[in-house]
Amino acid sequence: MPAFRYEAILADGKSKSGVMNSDSARAARAELRGQGLTPIIVDQISNEGKNKHDRSLFADKLSANELSLFTRQLASLLEAGLPLEQSFSALLEQAERVYVRDLIASIRSEIIGGRSLSDVLKQHPRDFAEIYTALVASGEQIGQLSRVLSQLADFIERRNALVQKVRLAFTYPAIVTVVAFAIVIFLLAYVVPQIVSVFANTKQQLPLLTVIMLAVSDFVRGYGVIIAVVFSVGFWIWMQLLKNSGIKMRWHSWLLTAPLYGKFERSFNTSRFASTLAITIGSGVPILQALQTSHDTLSNVAMREQVESATTAVREGVSLARALSNHPYFPPMLIHMIRAGEVTGNLPEMLGRAADAQQLELERRALTIAGLLEPVLILVMGVVVLLIVLAVLMPIIEINQLVR
């Protein structure tokens, strides 16, 4: 049964909008009139149009918080014993944003038509990742959809919290960098030339620091825009080069061993790998499919390649711990936890503990890096501003000495 978005007028003249399911637009208008409403607009929500829209770079989609809330509410409604159709009806009433209402109405109409939830979610890959649909399909197969959705909601919430903590850790250094750069450019481009030019007109021999600062100021004023364009073009070229698989592989391999940042990169990807593998295996997904799903969540292609190699080894009968131990980028702690899980038959729990440990390590490293960046940035900015102030004050000090 298709879904329709409508706008109608109440008996008291107020307008009302919403989403409803009906056999056709004419039936939808008749149903609205039967409710005492005067329909103004009744448009069908097309799945085909939505999928085409999903391919756009700037297409609307569920935010991370909306996806988490959607999953948690659906799990709660199913645990309360509501059928899937009624659960989506309740979600439809609670949805606030138009896009979310349209999405839920579209899913609900497909479910009423007899399709499974996992098949319907696969039609919206921009909103529901492959791991999401794979876990939903697993929950449907084992008859534990509400439990799997509850675990999935926990997983999404933990992932969102981790990303939020990392972003917050680097927000202050980023703000300091931007502000410091803007202040220095302003001083060099406007303040220094106007003040020092007064002394240059007196034919007085300027101090070396002042001469250097004037040269830097002239360079910034004359070539600043060109430098900005060159950096922008260079960044664009670098992004194009990263589309080459060989260059991207070498770059990501270097990131894993880079000073200070390398351990952060490894911890971030290891945490995502372990947590995804824990929830997929714990939800009944076969280990080979779980490894493939976990592989897709990694942002580093070098670690992806190692997971592919480990997957091939597992397919040939090698244990997961042994397969991963042949690759250097996965920490020994993760290997030991996986080996213990395989021996005790409790692999999902051990993977979950390993993921929690890697998440704590990642948070610690993020705070450490941010803590190191803050004083370094402040110190560099202070030194640069001090040099600029000295370049301005030194001619004034020399004139005062001559007057005395």
Reported residue count of the chain is 404
User: What pLDDT is recorded for position 58?
Assistant: 46
CB atoms near residue 321 (< 10 Å) = 20
For the chain, 404 residues long, give each residue's pLDDT as a single digit of tens: 566 667 777 777 677 776 666 666 677 777 777 777 777 777 666 554 444 444 444 457 888 888 888 989 998 998 888 888 888 888 888 877 888 888 888 888 888 878 888 888 888 888 888 778 888 888 887 788 888 888 888 888 888 888 888 788 888 888 888 888 888 888 888 877 777 666 666 666 777 887 888 888 888 888 878 888 999 999 999 989 988 889 999 999 998 888 878 888 888 888 888 888 888 888 778 888 888 888 888 888 999 898 999 899 999 888 888 988 888 888 888 899 999 998 888 888 898 888 888 888 888 888 888 888 888 888 888 888 888 888 878 777 766 665 55
Whole-prediction pTM value?
0.67
